[in-house]
Amino acid sequence: MKIGVVCYPTYGGSGVVATELGKALAKEGHEVHFITYSQPTRLGFFIENVYYHEVDIKPYPLFQYPPYEIALASKMVDVAKHEGLDLFHVHYAVPHASAAYMAREILKSEGYYVPFITTLHGTDITIVGKDASLEPVVTFSINQSDGITSVSGDLKKDTYDHFNVKKDIEVIHNFIDLDRFKKQKKDHFKTAICPNGEKMIVHTSNFRKVKRVEDVVKVFCRVRKKTPAKLLLVGDGPERSYIESLAREVECGSEDIRFLGKLEQVEEVLSVADLFLMTSEKESFGLAALEAMACEVPLISTNAGGLPELNEEGVSGFLCDVGDVEKMAERAIEVLDDDNLARFKKGALETAKKFDLSNILPKYEAYYRQVVEEFKSINI
């Protein structure tokens, strides 16, 4: 199949999922055309069957806000006609679903029939999309999608709860490439950071409010009083400077907290971690946690959103109420106990295997075929 993929190229989990899925489809022999405003970070330089089309956004003195959605729809029309696309797959509803709707209708008026699938990722539904400033357009364009998928059952429920969506939503969980995300031998790194055999606790995120990174610091401080440990904070975002100042003031020893910023090869850090903390207030799936689990890192997470679909209580780690830092610390100490840690590490990997790319990719391919067939039978 020839598939046009639209996503956010640089930030966030939805772009990572879109890029990894596109690369995996290309490996299976599909022709994949990324249509975005810059080269997706994880795309790499040259991959067979993968093409990149940049959306041209022309500045003009009149525009305080350049019309990205129109430029994107125009590029989608252009690529569909010239490359003979069979399907668009747009990741993150805002504004990609409405751009896809526009592109599909323009193409239809010129005799080209290209359906689109919208994948809902999380904040497009739980935060951004349901805001009154966007909701009518988001509802309309989700309903206009020829196929809709969500990355967890919880996000599907949230979508029906907050939007007047009439169509079926197919749940296809996020996935992990276990060939890339696996425990690597990086003992020298562990020794450098934890010279006295301390336990290594890791958090990675985009440091937005929704991640409640301050809770990570609070949990760490409570753990650190009982168990010698170090905290590595990976990533960057709007809350980072606030968290840095918080970390400087804590009683538990700010020298044990390190900020690593954005890392290309996060699996290298995860390979030497003993515990991953995900304290989010909302989390439709939690791809960063799955990456950790694949590297044999147990998880203490909140029970928000889709996290219970990922984190298996007592097996890969534990789930706690949002904000309950006492309970999270208690559970973290239990997992880090030398009598328990090996069992939880094994449990994390076993749970991650359920989300292996080889299990999830065929679900997307089958759904693509179904949507294209249905669209043809109605329109052509």
Between 86 and 312, CB nearer to ligand GMT:
312
- Binding part of the chain for ligand GMT, among 38-46, 191-199, 225-233, 283-291 by CB under 6 A, reads 283-291
Which two tokens mark 104?
Answer: 């599909």
- How many angstroms from the chain centroid is the CA of residue 83? 28
Interface map 165-194 toward ligand GMT (x if CB under 6 A): ---------x--------------------
Number of residues near ligand GMT (by CB under 6 A): 20
Q: Rule CB under 6 A: say whether 311 interacts with ligand GMT.
A: no
Which of 163, 276, 285, 355 contacts ligand GMT by CB under 6 A?
285
Q: Dihedral of CA 124/127/131/135: which sign?
A: positive
* Peptide bond preceding 308 in cis form (omega within 30 of 0): no
Residue 211's Cβ-side half-sphere holds a number of Cα atoms within 13 Å equal to 26
Least spacing, CB of residue 340 vs ligand GMT, in Å: 27
Which two tokens mark 184?
Answer: 């690597």
Least spacing, CB of residue 280 vs ligand GMT, in Å: 6
Q: Rule CB under 6 A: say whether 279 interacts with ligand GMT.
A: no
Which of 88, 92, 116, 368 contacts ligand GMT by CB under 6 A?
92
- Of 17-36, which residues contact ligand GMT (CB under 6 A)? 17
Least spacing, CB of residue 54 vs ligand GMT, in Å: 20
Which of 287, 336, 349, 372 contacts ligand GMT by CB under 6 A?
287
CA distance linking residue 114 with residue 86, whole number of Å:
6
Q: Rule CB under 6 A: say whether 206 interacts with ligand GMT.
A: yes
How far from 319 is each of 107, 158, 279, 284, 310, CA to CA, in Å? Answer: 47, 20, 10, 15, 10
Q: Provide DSSP, 19-71.
A: HHHHHHHHHTT-EEEEEESS--TTS-S--TTEEEEEPP----TT-SS--HHHH
Amino acid at the residue 126: T
CA distance linking residue 172 with residue 366, whole number of Å:
11
Which of 40, 235, 286, 317 contacts ligand GMT by CB under 6 A?
286
Tokens 């193409």 sit on residue? 107
Between 267 and 283, CB nearer to ligand GMT:
283
Tokens 């696309």 sit on residue? 85
- Binding part of the chain for ligand GMT, among 7-15, 196-204, 231-239, 270-278 by CB under 6 A, reads 7-15
Between 122 and 347, CB nearer to ligand GMT:
122
Least spacing, CB of residue 12 vs ligand GMT, in Å: 2
Q: Rule CB under 6 A: say whether 90 interacts with ligand GMT.
A: no
Cβ–Cβ < 8 Å for 364, 21: yes
Least spacing, CB of residue 51 vs ligand GMT, in Å: 23
Interface map 96-135 toward ligand GMT (x if CB under 6 A): -------------------------xxx------------
Within a 10 A sphere around the Cβ of 51, how many other Cβ atoms?
17
Least spacing, CB of residue 301 vs ligand GMT, in Å: 11
CA distance linking residue 23 with residue 46, whole number of Å:
11
Rounded (to 5) percent helix, strand, coil in the chain: 45, 15, 35
Q: Rule CB under 6 A: say whether 12 interacts with ligand GMT.
A: yes
Q: Rule CB under 6 A: say whether 47 interacts with ligand GMT.
A: no
Query: Which of 283, 341, 291, 288 minimizes the C-alpha distance to 309?
Result: 283
Residues forming the site for ligand GMT (CB under 6 A) = 12-14, 17, 92, 121-123, 151, 174, 206, 210, 280, 282-287, 305
